[in-house]
Amino acid sequence: MNNSQPGASDLSGGVGRDPKLLRSWRWFGPDDLRSFGHRSRLKGMGFDDVDYRDRPIIGLLNTWSDLNTCHSHFRERAQELRRGILQAGGFPVEVPVMSLGEMLMKPTTMLYRNLLAMETEEVLRCHPLDAAVLMGGCDKTVPAMIMGAISADVPVIFLPAGPMLKARWKNETLGSGSDAWKYWAERCAGNLCDSDWNDIENCIARSAGTCMTMGTASTMACIAETLGFTLPGASSIPAVVAEHCRLAVATGRRAVEIAWENLRPSQLVTAQSIDNAITTLLTIGGSTNAIVHVLAMARRAGVPLTLDRFDELSEQVPVLADLRPSGRFLMEDFHHAGGLSALLLRLKDRLNLDCLTISGCTLGKQLEGSEVLNDEIIRTRDNPLWPTGGTCVLRGNLAPDGCVLKTVAAEKRLLTHRGPALVFDNYAQLKAQINSPDLPVTADTVLILRSAGPLGAPGFPEWGMLPIPQKLLAAGVRDMVRISDARMSGTSYGTCILHVSPESHLGGPLALVVTGDEIELNVPERRLSWLVSDEEVARRRAAYQPPAVRFDRGYQQMFSRHVTQANEGCDFDFLHGKSPGAEPDIF
């Protein structure tokens, strides 16, 4: 960050501005009993009028938690945000919101993404906030908070947690997630001793911050930056370097300005900026999870979006970022190579440059002055990591509503493949049987997992990178065709066909496959075929027993009744679109 960054220049506070235009004036300005109560209670907390009257009140929606390993530096960042807010004449208030730490929550944080989105929306609506800083980073926190902010349509700016520093083990550079999968496979194959495995455990997570590969967290941070929710460069700054502290201070300053400007998410999220977000997802070789999240965010903003748009753009956009799990490098390298702005500069002709950003300028203006500093990490257009179709949408009689494959992270030989299915009814069965010496499996087998979708698991867990059976690992096999209605971690890789819709729990075709059925994958033709006759499918359909309802209370019941399918973004059906008003106005 430098002093020309947005948020660094205007330190004039509210001088010359009309405080009656601030949203918080409706709480503190009127001469009535209710406002008296609001003011007197702030005074009871030790604040005088001069602290908050006629100043933008800026919420810090903080997802810090001792149980969120990726956000452990957020208490310090909150202090830096406060510094920036005070510098610019605002009044900072910290508001804790639900923390979704990917590593420690079961069964999956995806079960709770919509809960955090609801909380964000309601916290923004019901409090006297003129603007807010959304402090997130670990996977679902990013889409959840942005979804809520889109619906509340109160000015917000996003502060990404930033990626962890690169890890080292012996002479290897380690990336969290991706290398955990890789070395676990080696351990299962008998190639890694206990001591080495223990050493990797000790060093693979080197600092605070999010996974340092182009996993879901980094993908969503890049998408947030492209949509204009962050200051430029924010998506790749490592979590624990001084630059990240300065980013927080600058973000705080800018938060005060967007309050005065009333710069709202509805001005950022448009059909054009959503296209930019998808282009970013494709060129960074980002997480397949982002497809679900972008669908949900677009629908909150009233932008009609289907999987078809992802596939259309996929045919046009090359993968230029050589980052794990698809490529070689890590987020720290990406940052030093110029970061997202430099990458997007290489795709200027494919972007809608007129889209507004939180800086107050257009995306095109924001990219000016960016520079690629390393052509190995950010490839040129004539030397891409993958030409086009790095992530693709497949259809066929096994996935009538679509499924996705991250082609760039798959073994190329498997992109056209035919083999017999080996079906696991659920994850428990998979876990119990996958390493059995008697498992009827060869390298050509197509592994299938069902009951792993939004409703089936429930919560749509990251089980989609089905483990390679131990006996095949020992024989040197490292990738197979795998199909499920699950998601997979953004740090995962392999020929994993994901998000099969409709899911098996709803009686989608995946529910009717039996071991031995022939499956054909044809990525060039975007086809996933289940080679069983219509008569046989009808016979199995007639005998099919739908699963029993499992949840009769609480949040899980609400989730089960209202979550939509993967191809629709897995939002709750009653949350599409915006809140009815800026705040509840019944008092």
**Which residues bind to ligand FES, rule: CB under 6 A?**
70, 102-103, 138-139, 210-211, 215, 217
Give the nearer residue to ligand FES in terms of CB position, either 131 or 142.
142
Give the nearer residue to ligand FES in terms of CB position, either 108 or 276.
108
Q: In one letter, which amino acid is 505? A: H
Question: At closest approach, how far in Å is the CB of 210 from ligand FES?
Answer: 4
Give the nearer residue to ligand FES in terms of CB position, either 162 or 232.
162
Per the CB < 8 A criterion, the answer to whether 450 and 510 are in contact is: yes
| Angle of the 289-300 helix axis to the 141-152 helix axis, nearest 10 | 10
Give the nearer residue to ligand FES in terms of CB position, either 103 or 361.
103
For the chain, state the CA radius of gyration. Answer: 24
Question: At closest approach, how far in Å is the CB of 342 from ligand FES?
Answer: 23
Question: At closest approach, how far in Å is the CB of 550 from ligand FES?
Answer: 27
Q: CA-CA distance, 56 to 256, in Å (whole number)?
A: 6
3-state DSSP call for residue 2?
A: coil
Give the nearer residue to ligand FES in terms of CB position, either 140 or 395.
140
Question: At closest approach, how far in Å is the CB of 209 from ligand FES?
Answer: 8
Give the nearer residue to ligand FES in terms of CB position, either 289 or 357.
289
Q: CA-CA distance, 240 to 261, in Å (whole number)?
A: 31
| Angle of the 216-227 helix axis to the 141-152 helix axis, nearest 10 | 30
Question: At closest approach, how far in Å is the CB of 73 from ligand FES?
Answer: 13
| Angle of the 307-314 helix axis to the 289-300 helix axis, nearest 10 | 120
Closest among 106, 103, 96, 107 to 145, alpha carbons compared: 96
Q: In one letter, which amino acid is 579? A: S
Question: At closest approach, how far in Å is the CB of 510 from ligand FES?
Answer: 27
Give the CA-trace dihedral at 152, 282, 465, 444, to 10 degrees. 150
Question: At closest approach, how far in Å is the CB of 463 from ligand FES?
Answer: 16
- Residue 348: CB atoms within 10 A of its CB come to 11
Give the nearer residue to ligand FES in terms of CB position, either 215 or 494.
215
Q: CA-CA distance, 6 to 422, in Å (whole number)?
A: 55
Work out whether strand 518-522 and strand 416-424 pair parallel, antiparallel, or are unpaired: antiparallel
Question: At closest approach, how far in Å is the CB of 99 from ligand FES?
Answer: 11
Burial bucket for residue 428 (CB in 10 Å: 0-12, 13-18, 19+)? exposed
Give the nearer residue to ligand FES in terms of CB position, either 292 or 398.
292
Give the nearer residue to ligand FES in terms of CB position, either 60 or 70.
70
Question: At closest approach, how far in Å is the CB of 213 from ligand FES?
Answer: 9
Q: Report which DSSP code applies to 80.
A: H
Question: What would you measure as the largest C-alpha separation in the chain, in angstroms?
Answer: 79
